[in-house]
Amino acid sequence: MTLWLTRIVPDTRSQDARRDLADAVGTHRRVMSLFPSDAGPDPRARFGVLFRGEDTPRGPHILVQSTHEPDTGRLPDGYGTALTRRLDALMDAIRPGLTVHYRCVASPVRKPGATTRALYGLKAVVPLTGAAADEWWLRQADRSGLKPLTHRPAQPLDAAGGERRPRGSAPQRVRHARTQFDGTAAIIDTDQLKTALLNGIGRGKAYGCGLLSIAPARQPQ
C-alpha cells in the first residue's frame, strides 16, 4: 500500500485559510474535500487520512497523510501552496533496530471507572498532562513497535475544537486536548509500527490528532 504525504502551506492572506486554521472541524472538511466524495460512510478511514497542523518559522503548515493521492487542485484559489510525495522509500527503510526520530500530536486521555467518575464528578474521558501524558505516550510507543531512546517532555498545544453539524441533528461541539511528543526511538516491531503509521494513535483522528511521523536518524560517522 502506498502512503502519500502532502504539505499544505496556507497563505494567511486567504480568508478561507485563516478560517480553517482557527477551526479543526473546518480543517477536517478542507482536507477531506481533496478526496473523492463517493467513498461511503467513512471516507477518512477508507482513504487513510490523518493530518496535523504545525507551526514553523515560515508560518503554519498542514501535514496530510493518506493512502490515496489527494487532488490539491481542489484547494480554493489563493489558499496557499501544496506539495505531495510518496512515502515508499520511508516504508521500505523500516526494519528492526533502525533508529528514528518521531513526532506525534495526539490526544492523551484516560477513562475513569464509573464509580470514580460519580465520586469526583469527572468527565467520561480526562485529558492527561505532564508526567501522566508522558507515561501514556510511552505505552503507545511500545504498542506501536517503538522503544524510545530519547524523549522530550510532553508539549501541550491548543485544543482542537470546532462545531460539527451532522445531518438531521443539532450542532455538536468538538474539543480534543492535544499534546506533542518528540524524540528518538529504535524500531522493535515493524508490523506494529506500520499499523500505527497507517491508522494513527489515540482519539480525535478526524480533527488533527494521531498522526505519527518518523524519519531515520543519521548514524554517527
Q: Say what the pLDDT of residue 220 is.
A: 52
CA 140 from centroid of its chain's CA atoms: 14
**Buried (b) or exposed (e) across 54-86, using 16+ Cβ within 10 A?**
eeeeeebebbbbbebebebeebeeebbebebee
Q: Say what the pLDDT of residue 218 is.
A: 77
Q: Say what the pLDDT of residue 221 is.
A: 46
- Indicate the SS3 state at residue 45: helix
- Indicate the SS3 state at residue 51: strand
Strands 146-151 vs 155-164: parallel, antiparallel or unpaired: unpaired
| Diameter over CA atoms, the chain | 61
Q: Say what the pLDDT of residue 163 is.
A: 85
Q: Which helix (H) or strand (E) segment is 15 a member of?
A: helix 15-21
Terminal-residue alpha carbon distance, the chain: 33
Q: What is the pLDDT along the chain (221 residues), one digit of tens a residue?
A: 799 999 999 999 999 999 999 999 999 999 999 999 887 888 999 999 999 999 999 999 999 999 999 999 999 999 999 999 999 999 999 999 999 999 999 999 987 554 444 444 445 678 999 999 999 999 999 999 999 999 999 999 999 988 887 776 777 788 899 999 999 999 999 999 999 999 999 999 999 999 999 999 976 54
User: What is the identity of the amino acid at 20?
Assistant: D
Q: Say what the pLDDT of residue 120 is.
A: 45
Grid coordinates in use for 214?
A: 518518523
Q: Say what the pLDDT of residue 1 is.
A: 79
Q: What's the half-sphere exposure (Cβ side, CA atoms, 13 Å) at 139?
A: 11
DSSP string for residues in 70-118:
--GGGSPTTSEEEEEEE-HHHHHH--TT-EEEEEEEE--EE---HHHHH
Long-range Cβ pairs for the range 196-200 (8 Å, 24+): 196/143, 196/144, 196/145, 197/3, 197/91, 198/1, 198/3, 198/48, 198/67, 199/48, 200/50
Q: Say what the pLDDT of residue 171 is.
A: 78
> How many Å apart are CA 167 and CA 157, to the nearest integer?
30
Grid coordinates in use for 31?
A: 482536507
Find all residues with CB under 8 Å of 33, minimum gap 6, and list them: 74
